[in-house]
Amino acid sequence: MKRLISILVSLIILLFIYWKIDFDGLIQVLRNCDRLWMAISLGMVIPITMLTAWRLQQLMPNSSPASHPPQPPASLAFAEANKLILAASSLNMVLPSKMGDIAKAYFMQDRGHLTGSLALSLVVFEKTCDMLSLLLWCVFGLLLYPQKDVLFWGMTFGVTVGLLLGLAILCFPKFARSFFALVQSVSPKKLRAKLGKMSFAWQEMHDYFWRDKQHLLKLALTSIFIWFLHLLQIWFFILALNAYTPFLTNLALSPLAILAGLLPLTFAGVGTRDAALILFYQPYFDAATGAALGVLCTSRYFLPAIGGLPFLQKYLNLAKRSKPLA
């Protein structure tokens, strides 16, 4: 039911956007696009997926801490990691709460002989790195953004606070425990059990990754570079639409639009992300081009989801027969 409501909200926002702008102009912008830049920008999905799959490989332990008797070292082939990333993208499009990422935890549990909580903690770390990397690039771009008004100073402050808070939770276990305890105390009863599991997984994640700081640094830098490629792809989209925005400005504006799309209001961010792109990029191109950019940004999620459809049933069956992650 929640998914249907989110789809309805997305449709309403899109209808409002296309009613307010020149819809024929949107079609014309897409028709007149630069074919070479369009191919390059859409093709960026491939290296981004491959690098994300390589990072997933690096998340798998070099030993099997939960196996009794001891099992061979955990392994994840590069091809298998790519299939898993694509299948997770498909699940994230149709299931709420990023359940596709939970499917990755089930696979790690099964393949790596891990406890359910450790498998979940690895996925928690992966998503944490993604969010902090996005916030890092956003802060970097906003600090260099030349046209800051009160709104942008407010967003700069908010994003910076979010980044510092995330780093504190990641780096300091006592602070993380206090944070989760505080959130649990003010949350509805239905969420408290989930937050308790999340707090446990977070602590296990911290203990696991901070044992090898060099490996932790490699994963962190990989995540930062992956998100650089994401933002570079959006800049390539702009070039493909025969428009232009300074690249450093794009580092500030595109993360803000992505963050708007993460609000739990719409289907896969469709609608809120489109509106944010039109609003933030209006000093550089018209609303029709901004709406076309929204369509292309949505393709960043739909193309991997379509690519994951052939592998979807395999991982759904794995999730059904696996032990609970708790």
The answer to whether the pTM exceeds 0.95 is no
List, for residues 175-216, the tens digit of each pLDDT value. Answer: 988 988 888 888 887 778 777 877 887 888 888 888 888 989
Residue 143, phi then psi, degrees to nearest 5: -65, -30
Residues 6+ apart with CB under 8 A from 192: 184
Greater confidence (238 vs 93) lies with 238
Q: What is the mean pLDDT of the chain?
A: 85
Distances, alpha carbon 176 to alpha carbons 101, 163, 202, in Å: 22, 14, 8
Closest among 266, 270, 301, 274 to 290, alpha carbons compared: 274
Reply yes or no on whether the pLDDT at 275 is more than 60.
Answer: yes
Residue 112: pLDDT band by 50, 70, 90 thresholds? low
List, for residues 138-189, the tens digit of each pLDDT value. Answer: 999 998 888 778 888 998 999 999 999 999 998 898 898 898 888 888 888 7
Burial (CB count within 10 angstroms: exposed 0-12, middle 13-18, buried 19+), residue 56: buried
What pLDDT score does 304 carry?
93
Q: Identify whether the C-beta of residue 183 lies closer than 8 Å to the C-beta of residue 195.
A: yes
Mean pLDDT within 28-57: 95
Reply yes or no on whether the pLDDT at 133 is more than 70.
Answer: yes
Q: Cα–Cα distance between 61 and 304 in angstroms, integer?
A: 26
What pLDDT score does 184 carry?
85
Could you say which DSSP state residue 66 is in? T
Greater confidence (325 vs 153) lies with 153
Three-class secondary structure of residue 147 per DSSP = coil
